[in-house]
Structure 1
Amino acid sequence: MNQYVMKRIWLMWAVLCLYHGAAGQPPRGPLVVSPQVNADKSITFRYLAPAASDVKLSAQFEKAPLPMTKEAQGIWSVTTKPVKPDIYPYSFQVDGITVMDPANVAFFPNERFKASLVDVPGETPLVHAMKDVPHGSVNYEYYPSLEGTTGSLVVYTPPGYDKNPSQNYPVYYLISGTTDTEETFFKVGKTNLILDNLIAEGKAKSMIIVMPYGNIAARFAEQKGGPKPADPTVRDGDDAVKRANDFGNDLISKVIPYVEKNYRAIANKNNRAIGGFSRGGGQTLRAAFGNLDKFAWVCSYSSYLSPAEMDKNFPQIGSNPDNTNKQLKLLWVSVGSDDFLYKGTVEFMDYLKAKKVAYKSLITDGGHTWMNVKQYVAATTPLLFR
């Protein structure tokens, strides 16, 4: 066979390979870039929906959904006004249906709503920004939980943890809010980056942060084949209190022993902190007040316990303030002035003040948002384990 024939055969084979490879691929639409953060901090959002008749942008920095305009090839777009630097959830409303942004890999872990995330950087890097500093690690863990189920955790270990096998660390147990998952403090709250930056600046001590899943009632149902229960309708009702106590039991009897067996944790109350946002803040307060021998540092973000529940379930906190103040090295309460839990949180602080229970507080602008939560984490972690 001469050289010419051989070249022809190889060429035909290459063409056939290319054809069959292309035929096996799904059809591809036009490239969509979204979100696009512009130099002036405005943001351009795009969504491919050729057959849609109405598309809007719903974003936490906008008071109302923004109409989007249909452009060439069926791509809808809108450009916002300049936005204050931070991380924001957003979604699209496509003919009345809420959807995530398929062009964006960053998303908000949540049981109920599905949102994407846009990070608007500051001219000066914000506390949660990725900086050129030593970084810790984030690990996903499974542990044997209550009722024969398997629980899940996200665990942050600080920079140098793997290089210093003889060093042990204090632990901060950090609990997300209603419908959030164990990933939310990591993926939305950027707790790992906040700690990396604060540790590098010498503002926070090196610590392990354990982020558990707060809705163990849903996990029980999922793993036992039952329907997921609806969320409690009353924040301090019997059902809500029972679920919080179940979580506290899981935390004390399962999570902490697992962490202290598998990580180099300092196993005493002075080196354990607990904190949480929203429902996680309520779980924090109930677990801490019911176990003063386990935690010396307590941080409640956008949450509270009512005076009635305090007097009924935790009377020792207010009736013996000297002992409470001796037991707790930090009791922190923070909330936004526009938060729907602001009134109850202020009442809780007034209760503590009247009972002479020492606490520190921070009231910020804004509402019940993860933008505020990041501020609270950045404000409290430098106070822990000092």
Structure 2
Amino acid sequence: MLKSFFSQPLLWLLSALSGLALAQPPRGPLVMSPQVNADKTVTFRYQAPQAKAVELSAQFEKAPVAMTKDAQGIWSVTVGPVKPDIYPYSFRVDGVTVMDPANVAFFPNERFKASLVDIPGDTPLIHAMRDVPHGSINYEYYPSMEGTTGSLVVYTPPGYDQNPSKKYPVYYLISGTTDTEETFFKVGKTNLILDNLIAEGKAKPMIIVMPYGNIAARVAEQKGGSKPADPTVRDGADAVKRANDFATDLVKNVIPYTEKSYRTIPNRENRAIGGFSRGGGQTLRTAFSNMDKFAWVCAYSSYLSPEEMDRSYPALVSNAAQTNKQLKLLWVSVGSDDFLYKGTVEFMDYLKAKNVNYKSLITDGGHTWMNVKTYVAATTPLLFQQ
């Protein structure tokens, strides 16, 4: 009789693994999505054999686009050509919005996380990965308000780790409503924009600190509560209180943590603050309440109403000469199709009437991160040019 070469426990293990293998559901076909073609058209695919209808919803399309199903149950559509940029998109499957499971790139958000498609230009765009020295991205945690722990994404420029004696100016950059601390990094590609501008000699090397803007949501989450609804009135009492809470956290917690943890130049001439949408409103309120902390202020697709300016910052507008001396840059930008266009232009007109100096840029397009990248690329070369 032949002697078995397998022990009883090993036989049990092999039997179990065999059973698991048999129990695995069959794998479907490999799905490639999105596929960016040489002519700038893009093919999207989604596997859903049982679905009755699948549509593509993309920021470069005015309306959802119907997809067609093949014999393998893969829905697809080719659209474009599409203007080179980075765009969010999603699928609607029998009326339900879903991410693209074949794509690892997604839009960080408190709510639905859209997928991202990057259509490269024939010549590299300002946010493209280029063969230049690259900075680093660090994730940081700091002690914040009400005993909570705050989170930051921090960019350090090329050469930061190689020259331990050099100190840098800091740009505090704040995302919009429902965005997270990752959005300027993963969607705005701020790190790559700065790498490219620094390599071209157009921007000074700087540290960029990207905080999470929704203090109320973080406090609720960490204390076991429910995330509060976003304010319904942009300059209402609740919105202003939350913005002031953010300003307190930034000035009392984020800046001290940054200046302790990184090699910064700790004075107002070497601190800038900027933000998009809600983050732009937080920027303006934080800066105007702390003129001793910031000399460079950038508002992207955001504004403060004349009523709030008169009520909350009378000294800033009543002594324009002093304000213009303090602020080395006050920047305001917006897209012509942005739903905040009217209020932003009204804010510019107010500043002009009060003789407060500012620089502005009005672009095509709406309230999008495509425009935000344009604003970052336009403003960072102006910062810290003393």
- Asked if these proteins are the same fold (TM beyond 0.5), I'd say yes
Whole-angstrom distance in 1 between the partners of 2:251 and 2:312: 18
Q: Which residue identity does 1:206 align to in structure 2? A: P
TM, length-normalised to structure 2: 0.95
CA shift, 1:30, in A, is 1.1
CA shift, 1:20, in A, is 5.9
CA shift, 1:9, in A, is 7.0
1:359 aligns with 2:324: no
Whole-angstrom distance in 2 between the partners of 1:233 and 1:21: 52
Q: Could you say which residue in structure 2 is the equivalent of 1:316?
A: 315
Whole-angstrom distance in 2 between the partners of 1:17 and 1:202: 62
Q: Could you say which residue in structure 1 is the equivalent of 2:195?
A: 196
Aligned residues: 380
Q: Could you say which residue in structure 2 is the equivalent of 1:337?
A: 336
1:150 aligns with 2:169: no
Whole-angstrom distance in 2 between the partners of 1:273 and 1:208: 10
CA shift, 1:113, in A, is 2.2
Q: Which residue identity does 2:55 align to in structure 1? A: K
* Residue segments in structure 1 that go unaligned for 5+ positions in a row: none
Whole-angstrom distance in 2 between the partners of 1:221 and 1:16: 49
CA shift, 1:245, in A, is 0.2
Report the secondary structure of 1:316's partner residue: helix
Whole-angstrom distance in 2 between the partners of 1:221 and 1:136: 34
Report the secondary structure of 1:151's partner residue: strand
CA shift, 1:205, in A, is 0.3
Q: Could you say which residue in structure 2 is the equivalent of 1:39?
A: 38
Q: Could you say which residue in structure 1 is the equivalent of 2:211?
A: 212
CA shift, 1:27, in A, is 3.7
1:206-245 matched pairs, under 5 angstroms? 206-245=205-244
CA shift, 1:22, in A, is 3.6
CA shift, 1:317, in A, is 1.3
1:32-71 matched pairs, under 5 angstroms? 32-71=31-70
CA shift, 1:73, in A, is 1.3
Whole-angstrom distance in 2 between the partners of 1:126 and 1:75: 32
Whole-angstrom distance in 2 between the partners of 1:83 and 1:66: 14
Q: Could you say which residue in structure 2 is the equivalent of 1:105?
A: 104
CA shift, 1:23, in A, is 4.0
The RMSD of aligned alpha carbons is: 1.9
Report the secondary structure of 2:334's partner residue: strand
Q: Could you say which residue in structure 1 is the equivalent of 2:257?
A: 258
Whole-angstrom distance in 2 between the partners of 1:27 and 1:320: 73
Report the secondary structure of 2:72's partner residue: helix
Whole-angstrom distance in 1 between the partners of 2:169 and 2:194: 13
Whole-angstrom distance in 1 between the partners of 2:210 and 2:123: 29
Whole-angstrom distance in 2 between the partners of 1:25 and 1:384: 57
Q: Which residue identity does 1:274 align to in structure 2? A: I
- CA deviations on 1:288-318 (whole Å, 9 max, x unpaired) are 0000000000000000000000000011111
Structure 1 residues 161 and 26, CA gap change in structure 2 (3 angstroms): farther
Report the secondary structure of 1:205's partner residue: coil
1:285-300 matched pairs, under 5 angstroms? 285-300=284-299
Whole-angstrom distance in 2 between the partners of 1:9 and 1:94: 53
Q: Could you say which residue in structure 2 is the equivalent of 1:273?
A: 272
CA shift, 1:72, in A, is 2.1
- CA deviations on 1:70-105 (whole Å, 9 max, x unpaired) are 112110000002000000000000011100000000
Whole-angstrom distance in 2 between the partners of 1:160 and 1:22: 50
Whole-angstrom distance in 1 between the partners of 2:64 and 2:183: 24
Q: Which residue identity does 1:35 align to in structure 2? A: P
Q: Which residue identity does 2:186 align to in structure 1? A: K
Structure 1 residues 82 and 9, CA gap change in structure 2 (3 angstroms): farther
CA shift, 1:19, in A, is 4.3
Whole-angstrom distance in 2 between the partners of 1:321 and 1:204: 28
Report the secondary structure of 1:209's partner residue: strand
Whole-angstrom distance in 2 between the partners of 1:26 and 1:142: 41
1:47-196 matched pairs, under 5 angstroms? 47-196=46-195
- CA deviations on 1:203-249 (whole Å, 9 max, x unpaired) are 00000000000001000100111111000000000000000000000
Whole-angstrom distance in 2 between the partners of 1:168 and 1:29: 54
Whole-angstrom distance in 1 between the partners of 2:244 and 2:379: 25
Whole-angstrom distance in 2 between the partners of 1:64 and 1:130: 31
Report the secondary structure of 1:300's partner residue: strand
Whole-angstrom distance in 2 between the partners of 1:60 and 1:16: 51
1:326 aligns with 2:308: no
Whole-angstrom distance in 1 between the partners of 2:113 and 2:328: 38
Report the secondary structure of 1:335's partner residue: strand
CA shift, 1:16, in A, is 7.2
Whole-angstrom distance in 2 between the partners of 1:149 and 1:143: 9
CA shift, 1:170, in A, is 0.3
CA shift, 1:177, in A, is 0.3
Q: Which residue identity does 2:330 align to in structure 1? A: L
Deviates more, 1:24-33 or 1:330-339: 24-33
Identity %: 81
Q: Could you say which residue in structure 1 is the equivalent of 2:373?
A: 374
Whole-angstrom distance in 1 between the partners of 2:280 and 2:348: 14
Whole-angstrom distance in 2 between the partners of 1:22 and 1:190: 42
